[in-house]
Structures are given as structure tokens and as C-alpha cells.
Structure 1
Amino acid sequence: MTELQLSQRRKQVLRIVIQEYVENALPVGSQSIAQKYDLGVSAATIRNDLAALEKAGLLTHPHTSAGRIPTDGGYRYFVANLMAHTDLPSHERHMIRNQFHQARREIDQWLRLSTAVLAKASTGAALATSPRSISSRVKHLELIGIQDKVVLLVLVLATGTLKQQLITLEKPIFQEELSRASNQLNVEISGATAADLPNKLEEFTGFTREVGELVLNTLLQSEEQITDRVYRHGLAQVLAEPEFTDGPQVSRIVEVFEQRTLLQEIYDDVMELSDVQVMIAGEGRFGDMQDISLVLSRYGVPDRFSGLLGVVGPMRMPYGRTVGAVRYVATLLNELMHQLYGQSR
């Protein structure tokens, strides 16, 4: 679609149709364009431009109306060629940043806030997945005596995930010895991945070696888990849009939030990219998601962990503003998470 050659005026007409339709959800006619916009040509000329854009597959018209509406191809052309780089206004960025800094310094709170902010900024439904470790790393561990022969292993991963496991001993170990083992392990394995640990474990013996092996198993299990939590906000406001008045369309957008296999496939695609991705009407292998657009980005700490963040809505979406909102929130999450976890190598 990006190879299609359009005159400057026809690009302008296409941009106007999309902007008007996104705002009003009504077909756009040549007369209304001529009256509202000073293009320097007659309504008849604009009518010819609309017909040419329809022939090119960028516009179509409902049977009951003489006006035009964008096709999925029209939206794709707009995003690829006509969409202005839109940042959120500075006062909105300032307000959002303040909200994040006032929240508790926890990933859970940040992701809840991210979806609320994006839903409000975009009028779409926002989603975020909990971060998935690219390579799970140890941040810190503690050994706490519970009973004479029972010890609690508390393991904190670099993502902030907390793992706990009870260890049954053959003979009692005093807390002083448990603390000494904790300190030794923290010095040696803090920042280590599952791939790093086998060589490091060779340096340990006895109880310390046993704890190290439990840590290794925990890391391996963590890396096997797919993204396990989906945060969402604003689904009700999207379902109120005119595009989602029948069952099949409602089902398709709900599937994005509820089908873990589909979400995992989307996650895998987005993780390969460095910037915001716009998927319109289920491009590529997601072709069955008709009438739906997704604006998605990854977030996280490079080479450590990452998650998915974005907005789901109808094709009739304010793409420039939505892309700007997703990019800003993802960048803000990256900064905050790097401050909290990025130095725990």
C-alpha cells in the first residue's frame, strides 16, 4: 500500500475523510468537504477524487449513503504515509508523569495505572501484560528459620517477582548460619540467570548447594511461564462504539483480552520490534480480527524482561494520538523500571 502514488490533493482528501470519519462515525461526502475545507477546487472535483480513492481501494461507501468511509487499506495508507507524528500535549505528559511518580513503586501499580491512562487518552480499551523474563535473574534471597527443621526461602527476581519455598532440613540450623548462607549466595549469584548458575553451584557444598539448586529450579520454571496476567481498562467504552453492535464483532475484540494463545502470538510479534506497532484489521496471520486495530509496544529493561502494552479498538481510531500515548507511557515505564531494576545485574 505504501507504493501507491497519490497526488497531494488526493492525499489531503483521504486525510480529511479519515479525520472526519474517526470523529463522527458518519460517511463523508464531497459537498461537506468543499464547505468545511478550503481545497481550492469544486465539490465536483472532490467527488472525482473520492471516486479515484475508492477505485484505489482506500475508500468505500455504504449502500445507503453517497458519502465515503475508509477501508482497512485506507487506514493503513494513512498510518504509513499521512499520519503526523503526534506527541501528547505537554500538560498531559506532565500530569501522567506525576501520576506515576505518586504511585507505589511496584510493577503491578504501574501497569494498572498504564491501562487507565491509555484508555482515557485514546478512548480505546487498554491492555498490558505482566513482564516476562527474557532471562530470569536473581535479585536477592533470604533464608528465614520457621521451625527447628523448616526454613523459608524467599527469592526476589529482577522483575520484582517474589518466590517463596519451604525447605525441610535433616537437622536444625540456627538463623545465624542461615543468614551467613544467604549473604554468601547473594554475593555469588545476584544478577545470575539459569544459564549462569550451574557453574556457580560448583563452588558450594552442603546446605548452601541445596539452596542454590532450588534457586536454579525456580529460575527455570519462571522462564517456562508465558505472560500470566493481563491488565485491562476501558473495554466497556469500546463496546459502546457503533462498530460493536453485533455479537461477532464483540466476540473478536473480547478474544484479544481473553485468549491467551492469541495474546501470546501478538506478544511474540511485538517483542521483535523497537517501536510502536499498528495492526489494522488483523494484518498477516491475525487476519480474522476484522474491524479491529491494535496499537502496541513492548516495555521493560533490555535483555532482562519485557511486557506488552497497548490499545485495542475499532479501525476508526485516532491513530496519531493513540500512537503518541502508547509510545509515551511505554517510554515512561521503561525509565521507571530501569531505575528500580536496571542496576541489579
Structure 2
Amino acid sequence: MAAEMTERRQLILKLVIQEFIETSTPVASELLVRKYALTYSSATIRNELAALEGLGYLTHWHTSAGRAPTDAGYRYYVENLMDRTPLSATEQRTIRHQFYQVRSELDQWIQLAGAVLARTAQNASVVTAPRAYQARFKHLELIAIHDTTVLLVLVLHDGTIRQQSFTLETARPQEELSRSAGKLNDRCHDAPIARIEETLQGERAAEAPQLDELELLVLDLIVKAMGQLEDQLNSQFYSNGLIEMLNQPEFAQVARVRQVLEMLQSGKGLGPLIPRVLASNGVQVIIGGEHSRDEMREYSVVLSRYGVADEVVGILGVIGPTRMAYPRTISTVRYISTVMSDMLNNMYGGESNRA
């Protein structure tokens, strides 16, 4: 497919996408010739538009003579065609000055980041507070409460405490519970959930396991508790810019407005993206049908992590219709993530630890 993308087709695809982003109206060959003073005839442009449609980059709305980009067209544009221009020096100075004025208030950083992202990208913004997203085991206590009832007290590396009671088939003395807790503390020291899951699976598959039934049960409870905490943290988003987003023509229908409101309030469509963003470097762009959840397939999301590696990290970005001003949105997300990382690095005193 790439071999069929001639320079002329690349130019025409770029112009169609830029025009469609600006106007939200399907683009006809006559407009391209007239507006951009192309040296090709309208007939030639029409042939190339048909070829680009055949390649899957454009679509032809039956009610219009023009073409509109597909998700694949936007992806090709983002990766190969768009102009990568940073925010102007004036915008950068203004943004840094705004953050400097609230430099001692972390909560205000989050709100300011959301407001600047929404205003600059003219779409809804999403920001999470910086935190240790990967729950890590620190300490465990098993306390006999009454007969066969045991209280599990789990302490995580960030200071989070989880308590849960469970019932055994037969009572066990406190001394035995304490020995099992000490054994698990040694096995799980500073471990993330993935390593504890590996330990649990390995023990269950072993011919001569080193852990007894009680200890395996406790490990299973620990994995579930840590997983629930990560899921909870991954769904906590601060959002801004709903008005900017709803000004887009894509949200003329009430049903679409209701959908985006629910998505921003629940964070369900965004939560699954967090592990992907945390595991990557730079800005991540997810376009339309590339989302795993059906309710997200009419939206594009531009996200980046920020923070201090191995300490605290957060996620920030922009969500909007697939007809998004990608160059400006990506530049904005990249710059705000840099500012937030710089501020957190100053707080933690580790320039080399930038996320």
C-alpha cells in the first residue's frame, strides 16, 4: 500500500484532511484546485481522490461530491504528512508563567493543565494527579479475630492500607498466622502485582509448592486487592473543556452529547489506555477504530505521561472527535507534559528522573 502513495497523492491527502479538519465538510476536487492553486486538473484530482479512497484513506459520502478522511487516513496523516510545529514562544512563555504562579499548589497544577489543554486544543482535556500508579507490596499482617475468621492487613509502598477479613475451614493459632505472614513478606518484598501473580501461578503449578493453602489464599486476596486499587486509580480523571468540545459540529445530536458526558464522568473508555501510555515514551495518539471499546470509536485521544520516573507519574491529554487539529493538539500535549514533568522534578529534585 505504501508503494502506491505517490507524492501527488500524499499532497492531495494532506490537503483534504487539513481542509476537512478546518471546515468539517467533505472536500471536492474543484475546491482543492481553486483554493490551493494546484497545477493538476479537476479530473486528475478526482482520479487521485478515487485512488485514495481505494487505498482506504478517504471515504465518499453518498450525499456529497466530496471526500472525508477515514481513521486510516488520519493515521497516515499523523505519522507521515502533518507539519510538526511547536507552540509559539509567546504561548510557551504564557503557559510557563501561569504554572509559575501556582507552583506550590499541586491541585491547582492539575486544574490549570486541564484548562490550558482545553483552551489551546479546543477540545476536552483529561488529567490525572501524579501518583504511583503501579501498586507495590510493602507489608502484610494476618490477625486472628475469632475462631476461623482472620483479618488481612495489607500495606502498599505508597502508604495505602487495605483490610479484609476472610474465613478459614479450620482455626489457626496466631503464631502460625504470623509465620505465614512473615513468609509472604519475604516472598513479596517490594513486588508489583504482576510479580505476585507470577508467584501465585508458579506455586499452583509446582509439584512441590513452598506455600500452603492458607498462603496461596492470602496471595490471591492480595492480587485482587492490588488490582482493584489500580483500577480505581486508573479511572480517576479530572476533565475540562466540555464547552469547547461541544462546540464541534459532531455534537449537534443530543445522544452524542449524552455519550461524551458519560464517558468523561466515568472514565471507562479512558482507563484502559493508561497502561499503554505509562509503558511508552512520548505522545500517544489513538484514533477512532483503534480503540478497543466501542463507545470510543468515534473519538481520538492524544495522551502523554508526565512526572518523575520511579516516583510519581500522571497522564494528561485531549479527547475529541476524530476530526481533530492533530498538529496543534499533539504540540500542546507534549509541551504541557514537559512543563508538568519539570515542576515535579523540581519538587523531587531529580532532573534525570523525568518520566
Q: Return the TM-score normalized by structure 2.
A: 0.69
2:190 corresponds in structure 1 to 195
In structure 2, give the amino acid aligned to 1:114.
A
Gap change, CA 1:329 and 1:222, over 3 Å in 2: farther
Q: How large is the RMSD of aligned CA atoms in angstroms?
A: 3.0
Query: Per the alignment, in what secondary structure is the counterpart of residue 190 of structure 2?
Result: coil
In structure 2, give the amino acid aligned to 1:11.
Q
Alignment check: 8 A CA contact 1:292 1:313 kept:
yes
Residue 240 of structure 2 is aligned to residue 245 of structure 1: no
Q: How much has 1:135 moved relative to structure 2? A: 6.2
Gap change, CA 1:136 and 1:72, over 3 Å in 2: closer
1:314 pairs with one of 312, 316, 321: 321
Query: Per the alignment, in what secondary structure is the counterpart of residue 313 of structure 1?
Result: strand
2:15 corresponds in structure 1 to 16
2:171 corresponds in structure 1 to none
Alignment check: 8 A CA contact 1:130 1:228 kept:
no
Cα distance per residue 1:114-155 (max 9 Å; x no partner): 111111111111110112314689xxxxxxxxxxxxxxxxxx
Cα distance per residue 1:12-55 (max 9 Å; x no partner): 01100111111111111111110111332111111111111111
In structure 2, give the amino acid aligned to 1:275.
G
In structure 2, give the amino acid aligned to 1:324.
S
Cα distance per residue 1:195-236 (max 9 Å; x no partner): 39xxxxxxxxxxxxxxxxxxxxxxx89975524642111112
2:221 corresponds in structure 1 to none
Structure 1: distance between partners of 2:228 and 2:132: 8
Structure 2: distance between partners of 1:278 and 1:239: 21
1:338 pairs with one of 337, 341, 345: 345
1:53-68 matched pairs, under 5 angstroms: 53-68=52-67
Q: How much has 1:273 moved relative to structure 2? A: 0.8
Q: How much has 1:68 moved relative to structure 2? A: 1.0
In structure 2, give the amino acid aligned to 1:8.
E
In structure 1, give the amino acid aligned to 2:15.
I
2:299 pairs with one of 278, 292, 316: 292
Cα distance per residue 1:234-277 (max 9 Å; x no partner): 11221221112224433443343223443321111211111101
Percent identity, aligned pairs only, is 43
Gap change, CA 1:104 and 1:53, over 3 Å in 2: same
1:302 corresponds in structure 2 to 309
In structure 2, give the amino acid aligned to 1:55.
G
1:81 corresponds in structure 2 to 80
Cα distance per residue 1:49-69 (max 9 Å; x no partner): 111111111111222210111
1:206-285 matched pairs, under 5 angstroms: 226-227=233-234, 229-285=236-292
1:25 corresponds in structure 2 to 24
In structure 2, give the amino acid aligned to 1:35.
R
Structure 2: distance between partners of 1:102 and 1:24: 37
Alignment check: 8 A CA contact 1:119 1:234 kept:
yes
Q: How much has 1:284 moved relative to structure 2? A: 4.5
2:48 corresponds in structure 1 to 49
Gap change, CA 1:135 and 1:288, over 3 Å in 2: closer
Structure 1: distance between partners of 2:227 and 2:33: 63
Q: Which runs of 5+ in 2 are unaligned?
A: 137-155, 161-188, 192-225
Gap change, CA 1:4 and 1:119, over 3 Å in 2: farther
Structure 2: distance between partners of 1:252 and 1:280: 17
Alignment check: 8 A CA contact 1:134 1:223 kept:
no
Q: Which runs of 5+ in 1 are unaligned?
A: 138-156, 164-193, 197-219
Q: Runs of 4 or more off by more than 6 Å in structure 1?
A: 220-223
